A and B are shown apart, each in its own frame.
Chain A
Amino acid sequence: MQDLLAASRCPRCRRVVAPPARICPDHPVAMEPHLIPAVGEVVSFTTLHSPPEGFRSPLHIAIVELDGGARLFCHGEETRGVKIGSRVSVEDVNSIFYFSHMGFADRARLFWRRTGYRGEKVAAIGKSFVKGFWKGRSRGER
C-alpha cells in the first residue's frame, strides 16, 4: 500500500495536475478532485548554489512525473545517485513535497532530520505509527 496525493482532473481533457487547481490550465472548466499514487520518476533535477532568502544552500529541486499523470515540483535532501528516470516516492511534509529514492534506513534518517525538536519528533512518529496501523500495515518500500 502506498500514499496517495491530492490532485485535480479536468472533466473534459482528463488532464491531471498536482497540487489541486480550481480550473484546468487548458480549458476554462472546473477541475474535479482526484487522488494519485505518490510514486513516479524524475523528469529533471538541479542543485541551486545560491538559493533565495529563506532556503538552505545547496537547494535540491526536482520535477517528478507521478504515475497518476501529474508532474510535481519537489525538494530533495540530496541528488547523489539520482538520475533522470530514477524511480522515487514523494512525501508531503507540511505541504512541501519531498522526493526520495533511497532505502528504508535512509528514509528513516531523513524523516528524523526533517522533523523538528524532540516533542515534534515523538508526535510525528506517533502519527506515522497510527497511520500505518490504520492502513493495515506501515509504509514499506515499493
Chain B
Amino acid sequence: MTRFGKRDESLPDLMTEAALAALADAGIERPDALIVAAMNPEEFTGEGNYGSLIGTHLGLSQVPALRVETATSSGMAAVYTAFATLAAGIHRSALVVGGEKMTHLPTPRVSEIIGRSIDPHERSYGSTMPALAGLITRAAMHRRGFALKEISLVAVKNHAHGVRNPYAHFREAVTLEAVMESRMVADPLRLFHCCPISDGAAALVLTAEPAAVRIAGIGQGMESIAVRYRWDLTSFRATQAAAEVAYRMAGFGPERVDVAELHDAFAPFELISLEDTGLVPAGKGGRATVDGETTVGGRLPVNPSGGLKARGHPLAATGIAQVVELVWQLRGLAEGRQVEARVGLAQSIGGLATNNWVTLLEARR
C-alpha cells in the first residue's frame, strides 16, 4: 500500500504504486484478474471506467478487470469479489487494488460527495456523515452508556498506534484533553473523534495456491440506507449479520481472534463495532478501551495500524488496507507495532453502516 495522507500523485499513480508492491510481494507478474475499488472517482478526479483505466495504467490492459463499489466499504467488497472468483474456480489469482484521491478538493465539496451515499430524503435535511454519526453517538451514549471519555480514548489510542505506522496519515500522538476540547462538529462528536480526509491506495494479491495467510471467512451484512427505517441506532445490524456469516464460514467464533482492524471513521464506531463483532461482550466496549485491552500490548489489540482515525481513510482503499495490515501482523512484518497473533478480524462499514463486511484471516501454521 501507499503512505496515506495528502498526496500529489494522481489516483491511477497511487493505485499503481500499491499494486506493483503487492505483485512484487506475491511474486506474480500477471494475475488472472484485476478487481478495482473506487467509491467516487468520477466526482473526485473526473475519470471513469476504472477497471480498464487502472489495467492499462498498470501494464495489465489484457487482464479481465472489474470495478466494485459499496460506498466506504468498497475495498472489502473488492476483496470479496476476488475471493468469490477464486472460490468458484474461475481464476487462480487476482490483484485487488483500491484507492481514493480527495485532498485536492475543498472540504465542503468532499463532504458533499461522500454524503451522496446517504438516503436522499435524509440528505435533504442537511444530513452529512458526521450528522448521522452524531445522532448515533448521542443515542449510543444514552442507551448503551458510552462515556465521552471512553469514546475520546479510542482516538487517543489510535493516534498512539499511528505514530508507529510509517503508512499512516497522522503520526502524532494526541492527548485526551485535546480530543475532548477539539472543535464541535456534530454534537456530541468533535473534530478529533472523526477520521481525516486522505489520499492513498492499497493492494493485495489473492491466490488459490496455499499462502502464508488465508481468508478463513468473509461475510457481508446489509441494513436499510434510511437511518429512520432502523429500530436500533446504537448497534449496526449490518456488522452483526456480516460477522455471523464470517464466523460460520470460518468454523470458529470471536474467541479465536487475536487482533482486529475496525472501521473507526468516527471514534464511537470502534466501541459499537467491538460489540457487534462479539469481540467483547455487549456493554463492555468502553471498559475494554479504558483498561487498555485494545491497545498494542493488550489482550486484543484493535487498530494497531492507527485505524481510519490515524492511518487515514481514502475511502475505497480502507478495507484493503485493513487486510494488508492484518496480513503483515500475521506474517510478523508489522515493524514497530507487531502483535502476537494467529487470527485477525477486519470490519468495514459502507455508507452509514448500510453495507458492512467482516473478514477473518488466519496464519498458516
Show the binding face of A for B, using Cβ within 8 Å: 17, 19, 25, 43-55, 59, 61, 63, 70-75, 79, 84, 96
Is the C-beta of B207 less than 8 angstroms from some C-beta in chain A? no
Q: In the assembly, what is the distance between CA of A12 and CA of B192, in Å?
A: 45
Binds A, one of B34-42, B95-103, B131-139: B131-139
Does B138 lie within 8 Å of A61, measured CB to CB?
no
Does A49 lie within 8 Å of B186, measured CB to CB?
yes
A19 contacts across to B, CB distance below 8 A: 121
Of the residues A49, A50, A63, A84, contact of B227 by C-beta under 8 Å: A63
Show the binding face of B for A, using Cβ within 8 Å: 108, 111-112, 115, 121-122, 125-128, 130-131, 134-136, 138-139, 142-143, 183-189, 224, 226-230, 233
Does B229 lie within 8 Å of A46, measured CB to CB?
no
Does A73 lie within 8 Å of B184, measured CB to CB?
no
Q: In the assembly, what is the distance between CA of A71 and CA of B138, in Å?
A: 16
Q: In the assembly, what is the distance between CA of A45 and CA of B121, in Å?
A: 17
Of the residues A50, A53, A84, contact of B185 by C-beta under 8 Å: A50
Does A71 lie within 8 Å of B229, measured CB to CB?
yes
B122 contacts across to A, CB distance below 8 A: 73
Does A55 lie within 8 Å of B126, measured CB to CB?
yes
A74 contacts across to B, CB distance below 8 A: 125
Q: In the assembly, what is the distance between CA of A32 and CA of B112, in Å?
A: 34
Does A63 lie within 8 Å of B135, measured CB to CB?
yes
A55 contacts across to B, CB distance below 8 A: 126
Does B121 lie within 8 Å of A73, measured CB to CB?
yes
Q: In the assembly, what is the distance between CA of A59 and CA of B187, in Å?
A: 10
Q: In the assembly, what is the distance between CA of A43 and CA of B143, in Å?
A: 10
Does A73 lie within 8 Å of B183, measured CB to CB?
no
A48 contacts across to B, CB distance below 8 A: 126, 128, 130-131, 134, 185-186
Does A49 lie within 8 Å of B138, measured CB to CB?
no
Besides A73-B228, A84-B138, 4 other CB < 8 A contacts? A44-B135, A49-B185, A59-B131, A73-B227
A25-B229 in contact given A46-B135, A52-B111, A53-B108 (Cβ < 8 Å):
yes
Of the residues A51, A70, A72, contact of B126 by C-beta under 8 Å: A51
Q: In the assembly, what is the distance between CA of A138 and CA of B122, in Å?
A: 31
What are 9 A-B pairs with beta-carbon distances under 8 A? A17-B228, A25-B226, A46-B135, A48-B130, A48-B131, A51-B131, A52-B108, A52-B115, A55-B126
**Chain A at the B interface: mostly helix, strand, loop or mixed?**
strand
A-B pairs, top 10 by smallest CB distance, nearest first, are A46-B134, A44-B139, A55-B126, A71-B228, A47-B187, A44-B135, A84-B142, A73-B125, A51-B126, A46-B186
Q: How far is the CB of A78 from chain B (nearest CB, A)?
A: 12
Does A25 lie within 8 Å of B126, measured CB to CB?
no
- Among B121, B130, B226, B229, chain A packs the most CB atoms within 10 A around the CB of B229
A46-B187 in contact given A52-B108, A61-B125, A96-B125 (Cβ < 8 Å):
yes
Q: In the assembly, what is the distance between CA of A74 and CA of B183, in Å?
A: 24
User: Taking CB as reference atom, which chain A residue is nearest B127?
Assistant: A61
Q: In the assembly, what is the distance between CA of A43 and CA of B128, in Å?
A: 18
- Among A44, A53, A72, chain B packs the most CB atoms within 10 A around the CB of A44
Does A73 lie within 8 Å of B127, measured CB to CB?
yes
Q: How far is the CB of B114 from chain A (nearest CB, A)?
A: 11
A49 contacts across to B, CB distance below 8 A: 183-187
Q: In the assembly, what is the distance between CA of A19 and CA of B121, in Å?
A: 9
B131 contacts across to A, CB distance below 8 A: 46, 48, 51, 59, 61
A75 contacts across to B, CB distance below 8 A: 125-126
B127 contacts across to A, CB distance below 8 A: 61, 73
Q: In the assembly, what is the distance between CA of A55 and CA of B128, in Å?
A: 12
Q: In the assembly, what is the distance between CA of A63 and CA of B233, in Å?
A: 10
A17 contacts across to B, CB distance below 8 A: 228-229
Q: How far is the CB of A84 from chain B (nearest CB, A)?
A: 5
